[in-house]
Amino acid sequence: MPARLSFGRWSYSLDNVIVFFREQGKGMVEPKNCVTLVKFLFSLTILHHVRDIKDPEHPYSLEELKVVSEDAIELDDEHNYVRITFTPTVEHCSMATVIGLCLRVKLMRSLPSRYKVDIRVAPGTHATEAAVNKQLNDKERVAAALENPNLVEMVDECLAPTYE
């Protein structure tokens, strides 16, 4: 059976694909199986969706500020689960919840609805980590935040594409 990668309405054949990974201290190595390759490609796809989100306070993207990275994306396609762990730029970042909301909204708009999205602050990187995590993963709080027109405008600004 040919290996295929399906994502939303897109489907890719992996029959003739050879991907090498760079492992720390080992150089380039082949993935051990197709599942590794699929997880890697999905992680890259998800990173592609969130990498250009603009920081609400700085004129840079979340990727440029190292707020999000490939390593911070966990994916379980079998259980339709995605987790992004982001790292605020400073411990007392006042925009951590807005950044998390931007990530959630972008994934809500980009991924099929079957995915459960979990957004987290990296452990030990924010003074109110537990409160931010609770707020970002509470459906009622997210829904209430998205009813606030000022907040929605800020999120839309962060998600707007930049043409350079």
Q: Dump pLDDT digits (tens) for 110-137.
A: 888 888 999 999 999 999 999 999 999 9
| CB half-sphere exposure, 41, CA atoms < 13 A | 21
Task: Assess if residue 164 is contained within a domain.
Answer: no
Q: How many domains does the chain have?
A: 1
* Cα dihedral 142→147→153→158 (10° resolution): 10
Q: Dump pLDDT digits (tens) for 53-109.
A: 999 998 899 999 999 988 888 888 778 888 999 999 999 999 999 999 999 999 998
What is the domain range of residue 15? 4-159
Residue with the larger pLDDT of the pair 139 and 41? 139
Residue 9 is part of a domain; what is its CATH number? 3.30.300.130
pTM of the model: 0.74
